[in-house]
């Protein structure tokens, strides 16, 4: 698993590769500093690092990308990334961060419950971005699963249903591993756990239980 020092080194090497002119230096350094601050505030998902660190780069889809930290991490490692989020402001921040470190990412402003990809991907990531329980959530999960190419991976992570009993959040915004797995027909579940993870939103950080599922799309559905 990558450390904070390794991520800082990634930012430093990306910054060094840009070599702006003297007249551009002030603006460029300000943009890069802002990008670094945003990524520090919203760290790369730890399970994404664990799952994808040793994968051969391919096509990746980041659903509910937010500030774009997961998308940038993948793009810096050679993945061809499409990133989708319903917030135009979040996409603007992510686009600026990508430009600051010199990576190309296809960004889309779209509701993940309604958006449909034009192709399939080797890796689909959906972390802390599910709609509230209902048809919108079901459509988002079904779309995410259908976007995975045969032999590809899907990573799903959301705040766990156990938080509802603590009164921390309404249950409609939480999820169980069983609910995630129900939408993975045609997949082999590699890992399905409830774990305590650092979750940061803006400047607020908590250690919370999250439900996480990693699964591989089967290449021969006749075996099901």
Please give the angle made by the CA atoms of 57, 60 and 66, to the nearest 5 degrees: 130
What pLDDT does residue 15 have? 34
- Let me know: does 209 contact 163? Beta carbons within 8 Å: yes
Q: Show the tokens assigned to 199.
A: 């979750």
Q: Cα 61 from chain centroid? A: 8
What pLDDT does residue 165 have? 75
Give 3-state DSSP helix, strand, coil % of the chain, rounded to 5.
40, 30, 30
Bridge partner list, 216 = 153, 188
Q: Please, what sign has the CA dihedral across residues 182, 178, 217, 140?
A: positive
Q: Cα 218 from chain centroid? A: 22
Residue 133: closest CA among 86, 97, 183: 183
What's the CA gap between 166 and 48, in Å, rounded? Answer: 27
Report the SS3 class of residue 217. Answer: strand
For the chain, which domains are there?
4-223 (3.40.50.150)
What's the CA gap between 144 and 152, in Å, rounded? Answer: 12
pTM of this structure: 0.78
- Please report which helix (H) or strand (E) contains residue 177, including its range: helix 177-182
Q: Cα 120 from chain centroid? A: 16
- Let me know: does 83 contact 68? Beta carbons within 8 Å: yes
Which residues lie closer than 8 Å to 170 by C-beta, 6 or more apart?
164
DSSP string, 75-108: HTTT-EEEEEES-HHHHHHHHHHHHHHT---EEE
What pLDDT does residue 73 have? 97
Intervals of the chain under pLDDT 50:
1-40, 222-224
What pLDDT does residue 110 have? 97
């Amino acid at each position: 698993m990558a450390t904070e020092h390794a991520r800082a080194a990634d930012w430093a090497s990306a910054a060094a590769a840009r070599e702006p002119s003297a007249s551009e230096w002030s603006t460029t350094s300000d943009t890069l500093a802002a990008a670094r601050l945003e990524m520090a505030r919203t760290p790369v998902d730890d399970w994404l690092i664990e799952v994808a660190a040793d994968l051969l780069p391919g096509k990746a889809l980041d659903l509910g990308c937010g500030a774009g930290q997961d998308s940038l991490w993948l793009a810096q490692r050679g993945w061809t990334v499409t990133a989708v989020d319903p917030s135009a402001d979040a996409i603007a921040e992510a686009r600026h961060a990508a430009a600051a470190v010199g990576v190309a990412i296809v960004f889309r402003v779209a509701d993940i419950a309604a958006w449909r990809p034009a192709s399939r991907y080797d890796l689909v990531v959906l972390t802390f971005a599910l709609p509230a329980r209902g048809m919108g959530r079901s459509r988002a999960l079904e779309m995410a699963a259908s976007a995975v190419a045969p032999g590809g991976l899907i990573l799903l992570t959301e705040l766990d249903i156990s938080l509802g009993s603590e009164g921390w959040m309404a249950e409609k915004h939480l999820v169980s591993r069983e609910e995630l797995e129900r939408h993975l027909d045609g997949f082999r579940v590699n890992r399905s756990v409830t774990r305590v993870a650092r979750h940061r939103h803006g400047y607020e950080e908590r250690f919370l239980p999250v439900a996480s599922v990693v699964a591989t799309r089967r290449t021969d559905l006749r075996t099901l």
